[in-house]
Amino acid sequence: MKNKNKKIILCILGGLLCLMAGLWYIAKQQEKKAFVDETGIETIGTVIRKSYSREHRRVTSYTIAFDFILDGNIIQAQNPPLMTEEDYHKAIVGRKYKVKYLPEAPVKTAQIYLDEPICSENVNIEQERERILQTY
């Protein structure tokens, strides 16, 4: 009986440790996002790809890839962690959106703002899709 109780206690402690690590990770990601929101350099980016995967039919993770121009170079980045299904459905391949990044690490810090499409660029969506096909 003692061994069974030890195993149960170890499982509970392991679960609590995983929960704490997950909460810490979420807090750090939110802190990073807030910092980029406040201090990042604003530019325009284009959604170049979106996909999703289901892990064990329970957890679905969403990926939005986008690019933007920095010093004449095309920079590719992916959505920040914790992308929601709602954000996934907002993203339209070929559409331009506001992007912010930190100059010291543009790929790692780039954030696309799917709530802020650049509507004046909507007429160019088909041209952007053609560029995406040719580039990637």
Q: What is the pLDDT of residues 85-121, one digit of tens each?
A: 898 999 999 999 999 999 999 998 999 999 999 988 8
Give the residue extent of every domain in the chain: 1-39, 41-135
Question: Whole-model pTM?
Answer: 0.75
**How far apart, in whole angstroms, are the C-alpha atoms of residue 70 and residue 110?**
11
Phi, psi of 54 (to 5 degrees): -110, 125
The kind and range of the H/E element at 99 are strand 96-101
Where do the H-state alpha helices sit in the chain?
Answer: 2-39, 85-90, 106-109, 125-135
In this prediction, residue 91 carries a pLDDT of 93
Please determine, for residue 133, whether its predicted confidence score (pLDDT) is greater than 80: yes
Confidence class of residue 74 from pLDDT cuts 50, 70 and 90?
very high
Sign for the CA dihedral angle at 101, 103, 106, 109 comes to: negative
